[in-house]
């Protein structure tokens, strides 16, 4: 009897130890270590906009600040996190939904350096930003692709743009890849096809554990080849539940779904935070993995996971009997007479005798 009791106690102690060890594994969504984690990556719920607070070893970087309606929230959130000074502010580009909260932050927090794109905008919010910077005394730097800045033990590398002369201001977004220990995070503002291509052509390291979805999940962002280079494990999407821009688009969500990412999105989950000790990372909540999209014309949500008309555009080659995503390079090489554009489901096209392209893998 005594021996059995002892065995039960030993087994119970071993079980407790196993549970505690499992709780400490990165990615198990246990929050016991969050207060002491030396690195945190907060994607703030700023509605239809974007704002990310990065903390590394007590140093802080604010990347964008959301729009006017969320400016006070951003300031309040930073104060709750104990921010007294910002080592860096990154202005990805000068759209209102990215820069308004920056103006508010400059009025409240000291800041050493602003990394901003080298172009100007003819808007009142841009003028307010310049005035706030002048009052704050922060140094504005127009970073070049490949430059690296230190934030505590984190390294912040500018991966884009290759040029500030791109036709679209979205494609002039300051894009950065942050590494902390062996973990990595990529955030590229509203970069679309042109900047994504330029970033790919740079030869810089892009593979990242965490990817903030470009341009709120627009159809022209998160291209197949770009995602193939980034190889994200987690994707973070910032958008509002009632936006009229068609964000996120079905095409982008389909590509992310095909990539097999674990998806977080602010319109479903609010503010999302990833923590790291440099050897692994974990989140404050589980992913929603909701890949539903929004129709730009009707504003209605689309479920891209079902059968029938999914809202995803495929291009079929009537000659080769292959079907492709609309962004696939093979589509540009087709004769117009061979193209069939459809929103039919993948299953329906295969049933009709079409086979998926091996390049874009629809």
pLDDT at 273: 98
Convert the pLDDT of each residue in 264-294 to its tens digit: 999 999 999 999 999 999 999 999 999 988 7
Show the tokens assigned to 137. 């005394």
Q: Please count the other Cβ atoms lying within 10 Å of the Cβ belonging to residue 28.
A: 13
Report the pLDDT averaged over residues 136-148. Answer: 97
Q: Is residue 55 part of a domain?
A: yes
Do residues 158 and 187 share a domain? yes
Do residues 61 and 102 share a domain? yes
31: exposed, middle or buried (Cβ count in 10 Å: 0-12, 13-18, 19+): middle
Q: Is residue 234 part of a domain?
A: yes
Do residues 325 and 218 share a domain? no
| Whether the bond into 248 is cis, omega within 30 of 0 | yes
pLDDT at 302: 65
Q: Is residue 89 part of a domain?
A: yes
Do residues 331 and 233 share a domain? no
pLDDT band, residue 16 (cuts 50/70/90)? very low
Do residues 49 and 114 share a domain? yes
- CB distance 354 to 323 below 8 Å: yes
Question: 26 pLDDT exceeds 50?
Answer: no
Q: Which of 302, 325, 342 is the last residue of a domain?
A: 302
**Which residue has better confidence, 306 or 267?**
267
Question: 307 pLDDT exceeds 70?
Answer: no
Do residues 155 and 280 share a domain? yes
Q: Is residue 119 part of a domain?
A: yes
Structural domain containing residue 179: 39-302
Do residues 207 and 274 share a domain? yes
Q: Which of 259, 277, 302 is the last residue of a domain?
A: 302
Q: Is residue 167 part of a domain?
A: yes
Beta strands 293-294; 85-90: pairing state: unpaired
Q: Which residues of 80-99 are buried (b: 16+ CB within 10 A; e: fewer)?
A: eeebeebbbbbbbbbbbbbb
Query: Residue length, the chain?
Result: 362
pLDDT band, residue 89 (cuts 50/70/90)? very high
Q: Report DSSP state, residue 116.
A: -
User: How far apart are alpha carbons 258 and 346 in whole angstroms?
Assistant: 12
The alpha carbon of residue 152 and the mean position of all alpha carbons in its chain are separated, in whole angstroms, by: 22
Question: 1 pLDDT exceeds 80?
Answer: no
User: How far apart are alpha carbons 247 and 294 in whole angstroms?
Assistant: 6
CATH code of 264's domain: 3.60.15.10
pLDDT at 231: 97
Angle, helices 124-136/96-108, rounded to nearest 10 degrees: 30
How many domains does the structure of the chain reveal?
2
Question: 12 pLDDT exceeds 50?
Answer: no
Q: Is residue 1 part of a domain?
A: no
Q: Mean of the per-residue pLDDT values for the chain?
A: 87
Do residues 231 and 336 share a domain? no
- CB distance 94 to 121 below 8 Å: yes
- CB distance 170 to 195 below 8 Å: yes
Q: Is residue 49 part of a domain?
A: yes
Do residues 295 and 335 share a domain? no
**Alpha helix segments (H runs only) across 170-310:** 193-201, 224-230, 250-259, 266-269
Show the tokens assigned to 320. 């080769």
Spatial strand order of the sheet with 139-141 comes to 139-141, 110-115, 85-90, 59-63, 52-56, 39-43, 272-276, 281-283
Do residues 245 and 191 share a domain? yes
Q: Which of 302, 322, 347 is the last residue of a domain?
A: 302
Do residues 72 and 163 share a domain? yes
Q: Is residue 114 part of a domain?
A: yes
pLDDT at 346: 80
Report the pLDDT averaged over residues 176-185. Answer: 98
Q: Report DSSP state, residue 287.
A: -
Do residues 287 and 201 share a domain? yes
């Amino acid at each position: 009897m005594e021996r059995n009791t002892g065995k039960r106690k030993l087994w119970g102690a071993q079980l407790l130890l196993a549970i505690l060890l499992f709780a400490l594994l990165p990615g198990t969504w246990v929050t016991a270590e969050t207060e002491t984690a030396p690195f945190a990556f907060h994607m703030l719920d700023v509605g239809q906009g974007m704002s990310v607070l990065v903390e590394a070893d007590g140093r802080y970087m604010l990347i964008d600040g959301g729009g006017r309606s969320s400016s006070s929230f951003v300031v309040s959130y930073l104060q709750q996190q104990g921010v007294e000074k910002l080592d860096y502010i990154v202005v990805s580009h000068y759209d209102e939904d990215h820069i308004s909260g920056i103006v508010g932050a400059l009025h409240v927090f000291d800041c050493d350096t602003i990394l901003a794109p080298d172009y100007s905008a003819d808007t009142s919010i841009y003028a307010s930003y310049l005035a706030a910077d002048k009052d704050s005394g922060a140094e504005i730097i127009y970073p070049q692709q490949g430059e690296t800045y230190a934030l505590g033990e984190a390294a912040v590398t500018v991966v884009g743009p290759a040029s500030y002369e791109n036709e679209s201001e979205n494609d002039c977004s300051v894009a950065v890849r942050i590494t902390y220990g062996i973990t990595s995070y990529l955030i590229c503002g509203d970069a679309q096809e042109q900047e994504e291509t330029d970033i790919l052509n740079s030869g810089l390291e892009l593979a990242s554990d965490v990817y903030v979805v470009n341009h709120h999940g627009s159809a022209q962002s998160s291209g197949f080849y770009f995602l193939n280079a980034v190889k994200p494990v987690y994707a973070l999407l910032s958008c509002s539940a009632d936006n009229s821009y068609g964000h996120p688009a079905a095409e982008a969500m389909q590509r992310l779904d095909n990539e097999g990412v674990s998806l977080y999105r602010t319109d479903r989950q609010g503010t999302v935070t990833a923590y790291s000790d440099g050897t692994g990372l974990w989140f404050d909540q589980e992913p929603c993995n909701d890949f539903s999209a929004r129709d730009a014309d009707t504003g209605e949500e689309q479920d891209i996971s079902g059968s029938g008309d999914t809202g995803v555009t495929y291009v079929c080659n009537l000659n080769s009997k292959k079907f492709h995503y609309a962004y696939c390079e093979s589509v540009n090489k087709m004769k117009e007479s061979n193209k069939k554009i459809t929103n039919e489901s993948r299953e329906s096209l295969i049933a009709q005798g079409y086979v998926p392209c091996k390049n874009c893998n629809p």
